[in-house]
Structure 1
Amino acid sequence: MRAAVIVFPGSNCDRDMVCALNLAGHEVISVWHKETELPKNIDLVAIPGGFSFGDYLRCGAIAAKSPIFKEVLKHIERGGYALGVCNGFQILTEAGVLPGILQQNIKTKFISKAVDLRVLNTTSIFTHRYVHEEPISIPIAHHEGNYFASSDDLKKLKDGDRIAFKYIDNPNGALEDI
């Protein structure tokens, strides 16, 4: 698989994403956010976290206006894979690729710790090696991880089996532990 990792000003996890994708056996190309085209034959666009645009309020909205994002949206519309981690997930929600928004954590504090998730979807390229309902532990680090979506969007996510994981012990107030 060929992957493009989008790099924004302030990003500091793009190199981690490149390393992880390389370790998984993928060919990876870093793409600066001001580029206007993705490299040819890209299968996956990865949007890393790590203080994109300084990690200010709604940095995802700023990143989603970057020149490369038009091509990212076309890639997704063609059925290409996209992965958003941390700010990358926020960017995908702000761009309208994923429904909902990320709000400030319910206790308005930065959270950095290991949490347990329950696997709900095992049919995607990202989750197919997990066991349904299996608990897994992952690190989190965020100030705006409180996911919220309208009841209509939540119904669409559920009906489409688009919720991959849920918190076992919700650390941030996210709607329905998503």
Structure 2
Amino acid sequence: MIPKVLILTGFGINCDMETQHAFRVAGAQSERVHLTDLINRTRNLSDFDILALPGGFSFGDDIASGKVLANMIKYNLGGQVQEFIDTGKLILGICNGFQAMVKMGLLPGFNGDYSTQEVTLTFNDSGRFEDRWVHLKTNQNSKCIFTKGIESIYLPVRHGEGKFVVKNSDVLARLRKGSHIVLQYMDGAGNLAGYPFNPNGSVDSIAAICDETGRVFGMMPHPEAFQHRTNHPGWTREELPEEGAGMQIFRNAVEYVRENP
């Protein structure tokens, strides 16, 4: 079985081609589909196994990053997305895609509720766009299928609104207790740390979360930006594997679909 991946595109999404390529390298049939084609029903979400919401600046980040995209999906495709999740399929949101997912309520998905917003992503504490590489540590108790076999990973971030915040302390407690927290920003020694290691000021240094099933996953760092050793900032000075570490996230998704057709 060759998994089929829908890479959402249109209206300012600009990491769609890199995301498409990553899934293709991982062994999937990967296709870029414009949001309008889904809304107009000329293409069907149900024909795919994985939905990917790539990074970019959808709708120019008007109102707030990902907010307009979130509303476009929620109020035009909400039922289809819910069915997609209910049938055991996968959703991945990266950067702007993650922003849209939390703002439409897809994450954290407490008790199977994929419509209520409990968290958000807002302006970086630095007050500016952050473009840097970060160290990330994986929560080994998480059910996230995308990070299977990954203990730590080094990836780039590039965002102006990546600060993860919660509605209240009860939400943070539920995130911790339910192992929804998947990735956290760390310093080079593997410890929670402040800026610049945590590039945005996220509570608990949270960089990525998943739902209770581990099949719906959103992250601020860009795994599609580290597909090959030459993407790494130290590739001319360090001995690195030919394949970039970000590819494992895509390979995990493809392998999961193959094992759970």
Question: What TM-score do you get using the length of structure 2 for normalisation?
Answer: 0.62
In structure 2, the CA distance between the partners of 1:118 and 1:28, relative to structure 1 (3 Å rule), is same
| Distance in 2 of aligned mates of 1:63 and 1:74 | 19
Q: Does 1:162 align with 2:171?
A: no
1:14 aligns with 2:16: yes
Verify: 1:65 aligned to 2:65, yes or no: no
Aligned to 2:246: none
Is the contact between residue 4 and residue 44 of structure 1 (CA under 8 Å) also seen in structure 2? yes
Question: 1:21-170 residue pairs with structure 2 within 5 A?
Answer: 21-34=23-36, 35-36=38-39, 37=41, 38-66=44-72, 67-98=76-107, 99-121=118-140, 123-131=143-151, 135-149=152-166, 150-168=168-186, 169-170=197-198
Distance 1:40 1:79 in 2: 11
Scaled by the length of structure 1, what TM-score is found? 0.89
Percent identity reads 33
**Within 2, Cα distance between the matches of 1:93 and 1:21?**
23
> For 2:181, what is the secondary structure of its paired residue?
coil
Structure 1 window deviating more from structure 2 (139-148 vs 150-159): it is 150-159
Match 2:202 to one of 155, 161, 174:
174
Q: How far has the Cα of 1:69 moved from its partner? A: 4.8
Is the Cα–Cα contact under 8 Å of residues 48 and 87 in structure 1 kept in the other structure? yes
Larger Rg: 2
Using the alignment, how far apart are the partners of 1:59 and 1:144 within structure 2? 7
C-alpha separation in 2, matches of 1:8 and 1:59: 15
Bigger mean CA deviation after superposition, 15-24 or 59-68: 59-68
Q: Which has the higher helix share?
A: 2
Q: RMSD of the alignment, in Å?
A: 1.8
Q: Distance in 2 between matches of 1:57 and 1:144?
A: 12
- The Cα shift of 1:3 comes to 1.2
Residues paired across the two proteins, number: 175
In the aligned structure 2, how far is the partner of 1:17 from the partner of 1:128? Answer: 19
Deviation at 1:70, TM superposition (A): 4.2
Note the residue ranges of structure 1 that are not aligned, 5 or more in a row: none
| Residues in 1 aligned to 2:18 and 2:98: alpha-carbon distance in whole angstroms | 16
Q: Alpha-carbon deviations, 1:29-54, whole Å to 9, x = none?
A: 22211223534442211000111111
Any conservation in 2 of the 1:93–1:100 contact (CA below 8 Å)?
Answer: yes
CA–CA distance in structure 1, aligned partners of residues 9 and 32 of structure 2 = 7
